[in-house]
A = this chain, B = another copy of it.
Amino acid sequence: MIAQVMKVDKILEQSLLFDFYGELLTEHQKEIYERFIAEDLSLGEIAEEAGISRQGVHDLIKRCNQTLRGYEEKLHLLEKFLAVKDKVERIEQLLDQYNEEGAEELVRNIRKISGEIIEEL
């Protein structure tokens, strides 16, 4: 069970890092890594589709993981995104708790913009 949870966490981390830094991989890396992340295919299936060896896919994914983590260590985009997301959620909680009559439009507008902030990132 713990191994299962850790596997999900790792895939989630890989998937988030790919969202943030995927564009910095080569086209070939992007194509293979995306299949691994998004389509949840096995190494053997990806290897067969891409016409390379299973070991080649394994090495490429390992190298991509290192590259993506290296970018996060330098730019911290995922860390910053989670911090901003947390702050936007705090704004939304404050608005939830504020039920004054007459403030509906203010609350609605700020809520709309807060949501847009998250979409930008």
Which of A's residues lie within 8 Å of B, judged by CB? 20-21, 23-24, 71, 74-75, 77, 80, 83-84, 87-88, 90-91, 94-95, 98, 100, 102-103, 106, 109-110, 113-114, 116-117, 120-121
B-side contacts of A83, CB under 8 Å: 120
- A23-B74, A120-B80, A120-B83 as given contacts; A109 in contact with B94, CB under 8 Å: yes
B-side contacts of A120, CB under 8 Å: 80, 83-84, 87
B-side contacts of A121, CB under 8 Å: 80, 84
For residue A115, give the distance in angstroms from its CB to the closest CB of chain B: 10
- Extra inter-chain contacts (8) besides given A87-B117, A94-B109, A98-B103, CB under 8 Å: A23-B74, A77-B77, A80-B121, A84-B117, A84-B120, A87-B116, A94-B113, A100-B102
CB<8 Å pairs between A and B, sample of 11: A20-B75, A23-B74, A75-B77, A77-B77, A80-B121, A84-B121, A88-B117, A100-B100, A100-B102, A103-B103, A110-B110
